[in-house]
Amino acid sequence: MNQPNQNMPNIAIIGYGSMGKTLEEIAIKKGYTISKIYDIDNPLTEDDPMNFDVAIDFSNASAVLNNIKTLSKKRKNLILGTTGWYEQMEEIRQIADNANIGVVWGSNFSIGMQFFYRITQRAAVLMKKLDEYEIGIIETHHKLKKDAPSGTSINLAKFFINELFQYDGYSSNPNDVIGNGKKLHIASLRLGDVIGEHTVKIDSPYETIELVHKAKNRKGFALGALEAARWINHKQGFYSFNDVLSSYWV
C-alpha cells in the first residue's frame, strides 16, 4: 500500500479484475492511499470497518445494487465504473439521496471519450437541418464484455436521436434497421482483448464522415475514475462523469 496524501481521498477498490488491477497501479503512481481491495475472495460486507473515503466499483452489474446498499449504511461515497446496471438507475439514485452520499456513475470514464462525446454532440446539432445523411455506430470490445451494445455506444446514439427528427430510437438488430429509417443501427463486435473502439459513421450519397475513438489501454479509465473520486469526496448527490468534467470545462 502507498503512503497517505492529505489532499486525496482514501480509496477502496471493488472488483480486482483487469480494470481493478490497473486502477491500483495508477492510484499508487498518483499518490492515492488504497485502504482496501474487495473481490470474490474478500467481499464487501456490512461488518467491514470501511476505513476509506470513496469506493470505486469496477466489479460487475449484478453486484452494483448490493454494493451501494452496503456502502450507504456507512455513508461511503461511490464511483460506479461498472456498466450494464442502468435499469436500476432510479433505485440506486434513491438510495444515494436517502443516505446523503455522493455517487458518480459513467458508461465510460475516459477523459478522451468525454471530448469525443462533445464532438459527436456538436456534429448532431450541425446535422439538424440536413436530411440526406444517415448515422451508424460500430463498437468493438474484448470478448469478455457482457453488455452489448455498450453504454458508451448508446450515449453516442442518443445525441443523434435527440437532435435528428428521423430517428426515434436505436437497435443492434440489423433486421430492425433494414427498410426502417427510424432506427439508428449500433453494430457490436466482441473479440480478442480490444479495450474499446467506437466509430460514428455519417454517410450520404455523396460522402462519408467517420469520427473514431480508440482506447489504447485501461489507464485512461483509471485516471478518470480517480479524478471522479477526488471530485466527489465530501460531496453529496447523484452525478454522471459528465457532471464532473463539466465543472471544469465551463
**Residues annotated as catalytic (active site), given as ranges:** 141, 145
Query: How far, rounded to the nearest angstrom, does the alpha carbon of residue 73 sit from its chain's CA centroid?
Result: 24
| Contact yes or no for 92/64 (Cβ under 8 A) | yes
Helix axes 89-99, 61-72, angle to 10 degrees: 10
Per 3-state DSSP, the chain is made up of helix, strand and coil in percentages (nearest 5) of: 35, 25, 40
CA–CA separation, 204 and 219 (whole Å): 36
- Give every CB contact of residue 4 below 8 A, 6+ residues apart in sequence: 10, 33
CA–CA separation, 200 and 209 (whole Å): 8
Q: What is the CA radius of gyration of the chain?
A: 19
- Give every CB contact of residue 239 below 8 A, 6+ residues apart in sequence: 102, 103, 104, 105, 232
Per-residue b/e over 33-48, b at no fewer than 16 CB within 10 Å?
bbbbbbeeeeebeeeb
